[in-house]
Chains A and B, each alone.
Chain A
Amino acid sequence: GAGVSQSPSNKVTEKGKDVELRCDPISGHTALYWYRQSLGQGLEFLIYFQGNSAPDKSGLPSDRFSAERTGGSVSTLTIQRTQQEDSAVYLCASSPRGGIIGENIQYFGAGTRLSVL
């Protein structure tokens, strides 16, 4: 596909379980971003990858959150021991270069809606 793909589109899980969210960026895009939007809240930046490395992990809300990116392409966001406050839409975006290097539009996926019961 031509756009950013996220899976699953919806995930319902029980409190305490681990979840993995996947993002397939646009082919050739080196920068990848994860955000989340909780109900009634604004967008919250989580983490940013340039290639396989994550220059900025400061947005991760707790040590239960981790993310990796392999091969400079697919990224997974893992939430361990999920809590109800983790319920949100998790958005992924990619851009050709990103970061402070240049001016690049971010292309967003449709998001994964996570509900923790």
Chain B
Amino acid sequence: KNEVEQSPQNLTAQEGEFITINCSYSVGISALHWLQQHPGGGIVSLFMLSSGKKKHGRLIATINIQEKHSSLHITASHPRDSAVYICAVLNTGNQFYFGTGTSLTVIP
């Protein structure tokens, strides 16, 4: 069993739809990252959070420490949001664990 589980693995949405990607983890963490990897391979760190909720533009990330769960939401999705979204956690021993990613395709 992986320490970090993401769902869904693949997601196709119509432009404008509200999207949710989920991440569950089994280790005690000090922080959780959401990363975005574009088809060309470039990786952008979207959020790093340890509690509550963060918002940046159309992206919202939430985390529930008690339930060991985080969600990444995209409002008013756009084709340029098409990418792989990766959840990564930093445990209390400073070790990273990565989810296998969610491949998102937004259709015009």
- A and B together in one complex: yes
Q: Which residues of A approach B to under 8 Å, CB–CB?
A: 37, 42-45, 48, 55-56, 58-59, 89, 91, 93, 95, 99-100, 103-108, 110-111
B100 touches A99 (CB 8 A): no
Per-position contact with A for B23-53: 1 when CB-CB < 8 Å, else 0?
Answer: 0000000110101000001111101111000
Which B residue's beta carbon lies closest to that of A56? B94
At the interface with chain A, which of B14-22, B74-82, B85-93? B85-93
Say which residue of B42, B45, B98 sits within 8 Å of A45 (CB atoms): B98
Main secondary structure on chain B at its contact with chain A?
A: strand
Q: A42-B98, A58-B95 are in contact. Are A100 and B90 (CB under 8 A)?
A: yes
- B interface residues, how many (CB within 8 angstroms): 26
How distant is B92 from chain A, measured CB to nearest CB, in Å? 7
A59 touches B96 (CB 8 A): yes
Residues of A within 8 A of B35 (CB): 43
Main secondary structure on chain A at its contact with chain B?
A: strand
CA distance A93 to B50 in the complex (A): 19
